[in-house]
Amino acid sequence: MKSEGIEGCERFLSPGKGRGMRATKHFKVGDLIFACPAYSYVLTVNERGGHCEFCFTRREALSKCGKCKQAYYCNVECQKGDWPMHKLECSAMCSYGENWCPSETVRLVARIILKQKFQSERTQSERLLALKEFEAHLDKMDNEKNEMNQTDIAALRHFYSRHLDFPDNAALTELFAQVNCNGFTIEDEELSHLGSAVFPDVALMNHSCSPNVIVTYKGTVAEVRAVQEISPGEEIFNSYIDLLYPTEDRNERLRDSYFFTCDCKECTTKSKDKAKMEICRKLSTPPEPEEIREMHLPVNCWRFDWDGAMKYGEKIVQPYSVHYPPYSLNVASMYLKLGRLYLGLEKKAEGVKALKKAVSIMNVVFGKDHHYIAEIKKEMEEQK
């Protein structure tokens, strides 16, 4: 397809940052700026059986692939839709059995290589930035990252050589580096990991520790919504990292994964560092292991100390609300987990109150019509 651009946005040269994205019209808080289907994606192995391999729908009674018995689908249409990619793995999983163990990154790169083989024109995922334009930062990678790259390449050749023609080693090295630096993890409403993907147009946005947009997911489509008022001509910034940490910690993470140091206002003034260091100190006071384990698992997986998990959640949700930006997914997911935990402990009033707080944030970041919100509202209705 010919590049059509994105209404309300344009690519431009951002001073000191390279290419970036800016608004060409006004966006208010909660507005959908653009949606981007995944160029390529893969469901994480741990979610097989709970989510459709093709559309990522979460549902019961999915149908499994008759050959490998590992991939699950909503229906025949989803299975047919996924077959061009699933066939890369189906026979291999049968052949290798329990020894089939490529990393998620290797699986994603295999699918990208296959797509590039039959997709020569730009896709709907590349209206402003083509995947081949991704930065690789090969010159900035240390020996450890280079060794990891070569390990991934070896695994790719080992598991996919029967079904895939590979480019040369230099091209593979660059592609793995591009994916590692520009890839996304798809997460659900509780921030549980569902899979990995590349969204080229989303990757065009530069980072800020005070972002004016947030990225959420509807199946395998990334949706970018405004979390601040954005005026025409203003750059559109996403956050690449967890923002709870002080400036030096944030920049260490950015340098390690993305090879740059942030110079946004929050980083240059360090105005929130003292408070963030204090909250990090408080949160580092070791809770019981069961408490941590519970709060970082989806609620339906909690099997241990529910009361301990509730106390830990109550301890951190207020500091989260203060020190994360407004409309934070981290805050929403914590209220959501806490609300579901309250309901599991038959504390209905507290549960509904926490769920309402989660929904008030999710209405902005996911959009009011998202199926996650409908599911939570149903949970609240069942308490009446």
Mean pLDDT of 16-34: 97
Q: Is the pLDDT of residue 108 over 50?
A: yes
Asked whether 356 and 380 are in contact (CB, 8 A), the reply is yes
Tokens of 246: 């002080």
Q: What is the DSSP code string of 125-152?
A: T-SS--GGG----GGG--HHHHHHHHHH
The average confidence (pLDDT) of the chain is: 91
Angle at 10 between CA 4 and CA 11, to 5 degrees: 100
What torsion do the CA atoms of 179, 180, 182, 183 make, to the nearest 10 degrees?
80
**Under a CB-based contact definition with an 8 Å cutoff, are residues 174 and 180 in contact?**
no
Distance CA(146)–CA(136), nearest Å, equals 12
How far is 65 from 370, CA to CA, in rounded Å?
Answer: 28
Tell me the whole-structure pTM to 2 decimals.
0.91
Question: Can you read off the two tokens belonging to residue 292?
Answer: 């941590």
The larger pLDDT score, comparing residue 308 to residue 58, is at: 58
pLDDT confidence of residue 99:
93
Helix axes 329-344, 306-323, angle to 10 degrees: 150
Structure tokens of 301? 């997986």
Calpha distance 373→353 (Å, rounded): 15
Q: What is the pLDDT of residues 119-134, one digit of tens each?
A: 889 999 999 999 999 9
Going through the chain in order, the beta strands assigned E by DSSP cover 9-14, 18-23, 32-37, 40-43, 63-64, 72-73, 184-187, 193-198, 206-207, 213-218, 221-226, 237-238
List pLDDT tens digits, range 328-340. 999 999 999 999 9
CA-wise closest residue to 204 among 26, 43, 6, 32 = 6
Of 85, 81, 80, 72, the residue nearest 164 (C-alpha) = 85
**Higher-confidence residue: 5 or 285?**
5
Largest Cα separation within the chain, whole Å, is 62
Q: Is the dihedral of CA 320, 191, 266, 224 positive or negative?
A: negative
pLDDT in tens, 86-104: 999 998 899 898 899 999 9
pLDDT digits (tens, 9 = 90+) for 33-58: 999 999 999 999 999 999 999 999 99
Determine the distance from the C-alpha atom of residue 59 to the mean position of all C-alpha atoms in its chain, rounded to a whole number: 20
Residue 278 has pLDDT above 80, yes or no: no
Q: Which residue has the tokens 């390449």?
A: 153
**Closest by alpha carbon to 246, among 222, 277, 201, 224?**
277
Question: How many Cα atoms sit within 13 Å of 16 on the Cβ side?
Answer: 7
Q: Give the separation between CA 363 and CA 194, rounded to whole angstroms.
A: 21
